[in-house]
Amino acid sequence: MSRKQETALETLEARIGHRFNNRALLQEALTHGSALDGARVKRSYDRLEFLGDRVLGLVVSERLLAENKSIEEGELAPRYNALVNKHACAAAARAADLGAAVVLSPSEEANGGRGKEAILADICESVIAAIYLDAGLEAARAFVHRFWGEAFDGVKATPRDAKTALQEWAAAKKKGLHYHVVDQTGPEHAPHFVIDAVVDGFPPSRGEGGSKRDAQRAAATAFLRARGENV
């Protein structure tokens, strides 16, 4: 590793608040699959992303339980979903400026990969996993609490479930509602769905997510917000 690369990783460590004992984990966490040809790191972030998603879910779940002792599961679930999704992960990645450090192929770089929400979300989860493997759950928890702080504050008021809200909106107007899968990509352990929310007589709205439910919820949210509804 060149001194310039070491300096870049040290700068990133300072931003995220964790100095790695095994910096190879951080390198792997930052390597997009497009960059594997000729890269020093021979594995992309896919496996770490798989683990990071689970670690993030655990940290978010335990904090929600700790901060909402009188709330039932039915109210906790939408708060959890608002914190563990592509948009929340990408926002955390931007806050930590992870995009500046991601390793991409020249073609993916030219296509704006450094700023793509899907890549930022994946990188964020892979970095969480790298921190967890390097120093344990407490270190990973510190990262999540640091970069999800405002997001946790934002869900203290019980959010309205977007799919339910859209169903009620469509029913009130006596309009049919269905969801159309536009695209499904990614490996089996980390799929990515693109789904349209379609209400009869209205232009569809599109959402994306790591599950059909998340993508449907994102599409429903986009549809309602486009019509001035608060969700």
Q: Do residues 22 and 100 both lie within one domain?
A: yes
**Same domain (yes/no): 32, 64:** yes
Residue 175 φ then ψ, to 5°: -115, 145
Residue 118 and residue 184 in one domain: no
Starting at the edge strand that comes first in sequence, how are the strands of the sheet with 192-199 ordered? 177-185, 192-199, 205-209
DSSP result, 115-130:
G-HHHHHHHHHHHHHH
- Which DSSP symbol is given to 98? G
Q: Token pair of 134, please? A: 């390097």
What is the count of structural domains for the chain? 2
Do residues 174 and 133 share a domain?
no
Query: Is residue 75 flagged as an active site residue?
Result: no
Q: What is the pLDDT of residue 70?
A: 77
Q: Are 78 and 161 in contact (CB under 8 A)?
A: yes
Domain shared by 171 and 150, yes or no: no
Report DSSP state, residue 209.
Answer: E
- Check residue 157 and report its DSSP letter: S
Rounded to 10 degrees, the C-alpha dihedral 83/85/87/89 comes to 80
**pLDDT score for 139:** 97
Convert the pLDDT of each residue in 73-89 to its tens digit. Answer: 767 887 888 899 888 99
* Residues 34 and 142 reside in one and the same domain: yes
131 plus 200 within the same structural domain: no
For residue 55, the model assigns a pLDDT of 98
Q: What is the CATH number of the domain that holds 180?
A: 3.30.160.20
Question: Which range of residues forms the domain containing residue 128?
Answer: 3-154
Query: What is the CATH classification number for the domain harbouring 89?
Result: 1.10.1520.10
Q: Are residues 28 and 134 in the same domain?
A: yes
Options 49, 53, 134, 196, the catalytic residue: 53
Catalytic residue among 125, 134, 196, 214: 125
Looking at the structure, tell me whether residues 23 and 128 fall in a common domain.
Answer: yes
pLDDT at 231: 64
> Residue 181 domain-assigned?
yes
Per-residue pLDDT, 227? 86
Count CB-CB contacts under 10 A for residue 37.
7
- Residue 51 included in any domain: yes
Query: Which parts of the chain sit beneath pLDDT 50?
Result: 39
Q: Considering the entire predicted model, what is its pTM?
A: 0.68
The answer to whether 53 is a known catalytic residue is yes
Name which of 119, 128, 160 is nearest 146 in CA terms.
128
| One domain for residues 148 and 180 | no
Answer yes or no: is 128 within a domain: yes
Say which DSSP state 42 is in. Answer: -
**Do 121 and 176 have their domain in common?**
no
Residue 231 covered by a domain: no
Is 80 part of a structural domain of the chain? Answer: yes
Q: Are residues 68 and 175 in the same domain?
A: no
Question: Inter-axis angle of helices 46-67 and 73-83, to 10 degrees?
Answer: 140
